[in-house]
Chain A
Amino acid sequence: MTTKELNVAVDAEGFMTDPSQWTPEIAEAMAAEEGIAPLNEKQWQVINWVRQEAASTGEFPSLRSISKRSGVDTKEIYELFPKGPAKKIARCAGYQKPKGCI
């Protein structure tokens, strides 16, 4: 299934506009569009941690806090989500493009 077939509301750059509409199926569809499907266990670990963190703080976490606290370090993050991890993680987790500098 693609994000279009799943009827996901996205902005011009393909980021979900409402994180509460997110489902694991959408994450897989986003991952396919980013060229990293199917998502493996480690990628899910990052996505699940990010969703939990974002839901509790109300803000999308920085890549630095993801690498420090999700149990997946910087090197691995760049391997799991190559060529632009910030954008790829945000898309798969159903959040808008991260605006932070770090």
Chain B
Amino acid sequence: MSEERKLAIICSKGSLDMAYPGLVLANAARMMGIEADLFFTFWGMDIITKDKVDHLKVVPVGNPAMHMPQFVGGLPGMTDMATTMMKKEIEKLDMPPVHEFLEMIHDAGCGIYACRMAADMMHLERENLVDEVDDIIGAMEFLERAEGAQLLFI
């Protein structure tokens, strides 16, 4: 494995199903000795916001992979049902809940960064974000950190 290999992942979506791909890949990278940074922006900020991280949802409406008519997905309780089901399946795979996952990858040496612009837009300060966040940085600073890295946008 090349020791210089680096991975930088931009997480821009805040639903439960979109939180995991970035976390899984960053963790896998660290497990095999690849440097990894996560950069959270826009709706992805929910993943690292203290009062949101434990309440991320899977939303059936607008998701064709749910294989159900749109109006059914919009019925009351459907979002909570889909969320509960996915959380159960995730647990079966030995995957931690999102906050514990953040803690694990942070302990594993993965950088966790919040987007300055998104934080300003959503009126979020450092104390609103989970402890694992290393810093709130601008897009240019992120690009500097990501120099030479393979970049993923989720």
- Name A residues whose Cβ lies closer than 8 Å to a Cβ of B: 62-65, 67, 73-75, 78, 82-87, 100-102
B108: chain A residues at CB < 8 Å are: 74-75, 78
Q: Are B95 and A102 in contact (CB under 8 A)?
A: yes
> Once the chains bind, are B104 and A86 in contact (CB under 8 Å)?
no
Question: Are B24 and A64 in contact (CB-based, < 8 A)?
Answer: no
Having A101-B24, A102-B27, one finds 12 other A-B pairs with CB under 8 Å, namely A63-B31, A64-B94, A64-B104, A74-B107, A75-B107, A82-B33, A83-B33, A84-B1, A84-B31, A84-B32, A101-B28, A102-B95
- With both beta carbons as reference points, the residue of chain B lying nearest to A76 in the complex is identified as B107
Say whether A83 contacts B3, CB under 8 Å: yes
Write 6 A-B pairs (CB below 8 A) sorted by A numbering. Answer: A64-B94, A65-B94, A74-B104, A78-B109, A83-B3, A86-B31
Complex interface residues of chain B between 30 and 55 (CB less than 8 A to chain A): 30-33
Chain B residues in 8 Å Cβ range of A75: 107-108
Checking A62, A64, A78 against B30 with a beta-carbon cut-off of 8 angstroms, the contacting residue is A78
Task: Say which size band chain B's interface belongs to.
Answer: 10 to 19
- Which residue from chain A places its CB closest to the CB of B23 in the assembled complex? A102
Q: Shortest Cβ distance from B29 into chain A, in angstroms?
A: 10
9 A-B pairs with least C-beta separation: A84-B33, A83-B33, A74-B107, A86-B31, A75-B107, A84-B32, A62-B94, A74-B104, A78-B108
Query: How many whole Å from A79's CB to the nearest CB in chain B?
Result: 10
- Which residues on B sit within 8 Å (CB–CB) of A64? 94, 96, 104
Asked if B65 lies at the interface with its beta carbon under 8 angstroms from chain A, I say no
Q: Closest approach, in angstroms, between the C-beta of B34 and any C-beta of chain A?
A: 8
| Residue of B whose beta carbon sits closest to that of A81 | B33
Q: Tell me the complex Cα distance, A63–B96, Å.
A: 12
Within 8 A of A (CB), among B104-138: 104, 107-109
Cα–Cα distance between A86 and B93 once the two chains are bound (Å) = 17
Q: Which of B3, B27, B28, B32 has the most CB of A within 10 A?
A: B32
For B109, list chain A residues within 8 Å (CB).
78
Q: How far does the Cβ of B39 sit from chain A's closest Cβ, in whole Å?
A: 21
